[in-house]
Structure 1
Amino acid sequence: MPQAAPCRAITILFAIKWNERSRLALADISATQAACGVVFLDKPIGWTSRQAVNSVARLYTEKGKKLVKAGHAGTLDPMATGMLPIMVGEATRFSGVGLDADKNYRVTFDLSYQTDTLDAEGEITGRFDVAVQLADIEEVLPRFTGDIEQQPPSYSAIHVNGERAHEIMRKGGTVDLPKRPVTIHALKMISFESPLLTLDIQCSKGTYVRSLARDIGAALGVGGCVTVLRRLSTAGWPEVVMIPFEQLSAQPEACLLPLTQWLRHLPIIKLRMEDALRYAQGQRIQLTRGNEGEFAVFCAADPANPKSEPLLLGTGTIKPGIQRMILHPLRVLPSALPRLTAMADK
């Protein structure tokens, strides 16, 4: 019980910080499903992302019922801790918002050795005498900021001919993964106590911190093995919103943030009932005006209750048509159509 208050405080904090337009988006969609929203789990060390998702899903599943649908918005390795956004219920349709977002990490490299997995869980493949000075690190780090090409670790979840690379490696095979473009927005040195180097990293989606450790170590002429990795932020959400599993399991409902908060970065478009019904059926909507881009889509209000909150329907993209701007449905909540139908029948 005592843990419930911090969860509610986080929800209130973000509601207060929204602008007036976003504040209108606080429509509760939980009436048609037991749970729908996002949990910012502080993933414990040792858990796979799938184990974390299943553990959270069980918290929102009624006894004897089928496991509630859940998914994560950006995987973390078992040895990593920190922010793992977990989408619950219909919110799983919007996990791509986190997958495509920039992320922040704090990582510690051990420069004295290297492993086959590029982290402390692998087999040691080399040891190094570390004669690196602070000035050497300060000279090397700028080489790894900005747009760079990075070769993913051989032990990764990348698919090679229908099989994950790490599965091939563990069977004794080999993989040759091509380099990928990524963006390192910032590299900040937190501390260097030889052979341990700790950095804060702000990077784009698809960045492998283990590869960064390997490459920085190679540039310094030493090893580069990840020994500690913590995700501090994703999609702009700060560290304060993370919930330890023990706290979450004590008060799961209090810690579930509404889907509207996950979509808070999107501008809002509100549709009349007639257009909302068409949108919910996957039809495109002609608009008299509007800017291009992705939007959170709402039905303006319940006709039977004009003072009611707008109802979240999903997301869509606005693009130019021949004569008018067109709203194209992108991700539509399955509950949108039955809820709109019920409202229209009142």
Structure 2
Amino acid sequence: MVEALDLALGGVAVGILAWGFERYRTRFVKSDLIIAGALAVGLLIFVVLPGVYDSIGAALNIDGRFVLLSMLAQFVLLAIILHLLSMVRETNARFSDLVRNISADQAPQMDGGERTIFVVIPAYNEGKTITSVVKSLPDTIRGYTLQPVVVSDGSVDDTAENARYNGTVVVEHLVNQGQGGALKTGFQIALEQEADIVVTMDGDGQHPAEELERLVSPVIDDEADYVMGSRYKGENKTGNGVVRESGIRSFTWLINALTKSEITDCTNGFRAIRASGLEDMKLTEERFSAPELIIEARKNGLRIQEIPITIEERQAGETKKPQLMYAIGLTRAILATWIR
């Protein structure tokens, strides 16, 4: 019985090695050949040199090399799963980059020579509100020309059509990439057009345009590189429930503890950033961008300032953030950005 199993395992080892060789010969991906080779060698040692496994089993107080092989197989399976997950993440990242590059190429080339503030507005199915948002923006602020950029993030309504007002740059994602992905597209456009300051605001009308000058002034006056709006220093008219309010304060406390900051509103999307500060930020989050931007700003030594602002009720529609998954995603984003 044991000899038959050994023979079968030997055949499996040869088959795995042949598979890895064929994969490498076809795709030239070294990881496939390395994994196949390691598995094949491990099985061949088990068959040809059983004493090796017996010694390892004795050292670990495990009786029987087949028991040890079963345990090792589980570890190998876990390693393969983690490798596949890594490949999936890498593929998704490449796809997201492709979507953003295609979208960014839609933006027309601007005439240079002016000091500009690019206002990046990510919008997902905000057709009912986006027109009033872009219409509310001033043409200039303190000698800087304002250039709105609306990124319609896979919207299936008339968001893109309604955003085309008075020179607003409108680009569309073929598929939804999340708020973080839409912001990265807007940032890419702003940097390619040599913007001086980049502002982000929501497309639902919650951020009053009349507060833009106060938001960008610390950057213009060289008092800060990254200015955040805070509803808790200003006025919050949204009427968020206790759970959401507690969550925002908890996440803000966590960011402050991890980065030695003193912010009060970590999820606010109304912010102004010196464009040169964006160039060194490593932004990978597709859907939970707010904490990533703050932590990256701290890591890159940007001077962060918080100012009081007003958060209005949504002009139409409902929030698109599911509470439980949003909380889990935000926690992961904070810890992942801090540790990397």
TM-score category by the smaller chain?
A: under 0.3
Comparing both structures, which one devotes a greater share of its residues to helix?
Answer: 2
The TM-score normalised by the length of structure 1 is 0.19
Give 1 or 2: higher strand fraction. 1
